[in-house]
Structure 1
Amino acid sequence: MISAHGVAGTLADLVSTVLGDELPIRFRCWDGSVAGLPDAPIRLTFRHRRALRRLVWAPNELGLARAYVSGELDVEGDFVDTLTGLYRLISDGSLRAELGWAARRDVVRAVARVGAVGLPPKPPAEEIRLTGRIHSTRRDARAISHHYDVGNDFYALVLGPSMTYSCAYWDDTAGTLERAQIAKVDLVARKLGLTEGMRVLDVGCGWGTFVLHAAREYGVRAVGITLSQEQARFARKRAAEEGLADRVEIRVQDYRHVPDGPFDAIASIGMAEHVGEAMLPTYGRTLFDLLRPEGRLLNHAIAQNPLVPPRPDRTSFISRYVFPDGELEPLSVVIGALEESGFEVRDVESLREHYGRTLRAWVANLDERWAEAVRLSSPGRARVWRLYMAASALAFEGGRIGVNQVLAIKPGEHGASGMPATRAALLSGRWPGIPHMSR
C-alpha cells in the first residue's frame, strides 16, 4: 500500500501490517486524507469514524453492512465491480473473516489513534431481529412484512413494470427484463400444463403477475395467497384493471390455512425460501393435500450449494436486513421433503445464471433512479437493497447459491401421472387428455 498522513494513512499502514502489502484498495477518509494504490479497483470512503468502530465490534460482513447501510462507509465506482473485487480477496485468502489476537490488538491501537474507540454503535434502523417461535404463523407474517411491505412504488422502481420478484427467464425472445419475466411465468404455466377451466393456486403470489398471466392467457381460475397486505392490495387492483377480478382471487393467507382445495395445479415461485428446513415436511404435505390426483406442483426456489454452508444468523447481513428467518436448503433436501410428502418429482431445471442477470438488471434500475428510490423508502433501505442485490448476483454467478424449478405430481390411481411422453412436449405446454376439476 502507498501510505499517507491522516486517518487514511493509518488505515493503509494497518491493512499492510495485518493483511499484507499491495492490496488493491484505496481509502478516502472523513478528515480528507487519501491513501492506497492510485488505480485501485476497490475504492472505499469512510465518511465517519463510527464505521471503524462498527468493524472493530463486528469484524465480518455484518460490521461492513452496518457501516454501509448507515452511510458511514461508501463505495466509489461501480458497486458490483467493487463487491466482486472484495469477494475475490476474501476467496483468495487475502482477507480473513476472523483476526488473531495480535491483529486485533493492532486494529484497536490504530482505531484509538484516529479517535474511533468507543462502545458499539446502535445498529441501523433497517436491521431487525424477530422474537417468538420461529416459523410460527405470527412470526412468519412479521418477517414477510419486514421485507415486502417497503412500498409498492419502491418495488415498481426496482422490479420494473412486471412487478415480478423472482428469477427471470432469459430465453431467445427476452431482450428486456420485462419480457424475461413474462417468459418465466409462461414457462411455469407450460410446465403445469394449464388449460382453460383449471383451478390454480399460487403460493406466495407477490404482486399477482403469475395468476394474472395464467387467467388471461390460459383461461384458468386462480387463487393467489400472500402474507403481505401491500402486495395483496396491488394484485387486486391489477386484476380489476385487467378485467380479471372474476377469475383471480387474492387472499392474505398463510399456505397452512387454505381451506378450499383441491386444486388442479399449484405454483410456488420464490416462496419456499421462507419456509425453513424444519417446516419443509409440513409445506410438502400441505401442498400435496391441496392437489387433486395427477395434479402438478411447480416449486421454484433458491438453493444453497451444500459445499458452501451459509453464514450463521449472528453475522449474516441477509438474515438481519433482508430475509429474517429465511433459510436456503440444498436442492436434495427440498426434493427429499417433496418425495417424502408423497410427490413424484418429474422434472428439475436450474436457472442459476438467469438469476445473476436478473439481479444485475434490478441493480441497474435502482442506480438509475437512486434519488427517487431514497425518496420512496429511506437512504438506509435503498442501501440495503443495493448491497443485497449486488451481493446476491455475485453469489449466483459464483455458484454459491442456485435456483431450480422442480416439477412434481401427486400420483393418481395406480400411479397414473398424466405426464406427456417427452420433455419437449412438457415444455411445449401440449399435455394430451389431462382431466381437471370442473368447479
Structure 2
Amino acid sequence: MSHTATAIDTRRTDGASDGGRRLHALLVEFETPSAIKEAARRIRDAGFVRWDTHTPFPVHGIDEQMGIQRTKLPLLVFACGAVGCLTGLVLQWWTNASNVDLPAALNFIRGYPFQVSGKPFWSLPANIPVIFELTVLFSAFGAVFGMLVLNDLPKHYNPLFRSQRFRRVTDDRFFLCVETADPSYDPQHTPALLRSLGGTAVEEVYDEPTPPAPTRIVNRVLVVLLCLALIPPAIIAKARVSRSDSPRIHLIQDMDNQEKFKTQRAYPLFADQRVMRLPVAGAVARGELGDDAHFERGIVGNGYAEQFPAHRPEVRLTAEFLQRGHDKYGVYCAPCHGFDGSGQGRINQRAIELEEPAWVAAAALTDAERRSRPVGHLFNTITNGIRTMGPYGDRISPEDRWAIVAYVRALQRAHYPRAGDLAAVENIGPRERDGGE
C-alpha cells in the first residue's frame, strides 16, 4: 500500500491567526492500525504531551505505544470510599452517641443521644449498614466525577469536528492529532516530522474565532432582568417574617377553604354545640355486618361468655368437634402446655434443662384458676395472647379456637371429674369402653 503525504503551508503553522482563525492542531491520516501505532511510538519518543490518536475501533497495544500511564481513578475511588466510610462512622457516633455541649453551634449539628430499650448508645454492628451505604455512595461519586475531571469532560466542542476528513474516524480511517499548544511543538520541525510518519494526508485544523463579547447595552439589560427576577423571592421572604392585616391570597379556593368541619370544634346548629356526631342507633360499621361478638371474640354483653356459642352451626359439642380440638391443641398448645395440660410441654422442659433465666413456665391448664375461667376468657386468651404467650387469632380460625377450648374443658374434666362422671363410665359395658361392637 502506497502512502502519500500532502504538503503543509508552514507559513501558517506557528500558531498565528489566519483571517481571524487560530491554528489549533495538525491532523495526520492513516489507513492501517500498524501505521498509526508506529506513528504514535515516534511522536511519544519525540517528547510531545498534547497529542492523541483517534481510531474507529480499539487498537490493541496502542496504549503502550503512546506511553499512557495507568489511570489514577482507582486510587481516587478508594480515597472517596474511605472518606464515605469515615463520614458514616463519625456521623452516627456524633448524632447518636455524643453529647458535646457547644453553645455557639446550631442545634442541628449537636449530638443527641437517644436511649432505646436500654441498648447502648454506640454499637458498631448496628451502624454497619449506613457506613456501607455511604462508602458505596462516595465511591460512586468519586468514580463518576473523577472520570469527568481526569478526561477533561464535559467538552462539547473540539475544532476537529470541523474537519471533513476527520468524519471517517468512525468508519475506516485512523488519525493522529498534535496540538500547537504542545511545549515541544515547533513551527518548522513538527510539520516535517508529521510528514515523515507515512500518513496519507496531513491537515491543518483551525479554531474559529471566539464570538465578540456582548455589548454594554446587552449587559445592562441582563443586569436589569436579573434584578427584576429577584423581586418575587424578596417579596416571599418579607411575607414570611412579617405580619399583615390583609387575608392571604387563595389561588385554589377548593383546597384552602373546604366545605367541611374540623374535629372537636363547636357548631351551633346541633343541640350539644359539637361538630362530632354520635353514630345513629343501630348503625353498623362497614365490614361489621356479620359481627358476632360471642362467636368471634368470646364476649357476651360486657363480660366473657360463660357458654359456648351454640347458636352457631360450626360449634357443636360432639365427638368430632372434640377430636378437632384435640388435633389443633396438639399443634399449637401441647409444645408448651403439654398433652395433658399440666404445663410440662417439650419446650418448657428444654428451657428448664438449659436453665434459661428469662424463661417463664407455661401455665397448667388444669389448675383451679384456669378451671374457674369462663370459656370466653379462654377463647380470648387464645385469640389475643396473655403475658408471655403470643396471640394465635391470625393463625387459628374462630371455630378451631372454640374446638380447642372444648378440648381444654375436657382435659380439666378428666383431671377433676364430677361425681356422676365415674358412674356414667361404669355403666358402659366392657366391649363399649374398649371400642367393641
Confirm or deny a common fold (TM above 0.5): no
Q: Bigger radius of gyration, 1 or 2?
A: 2
Higher relative contact order (CA 8 A, sep 6+): 2
TM-score range, shorter chain: under 0.3
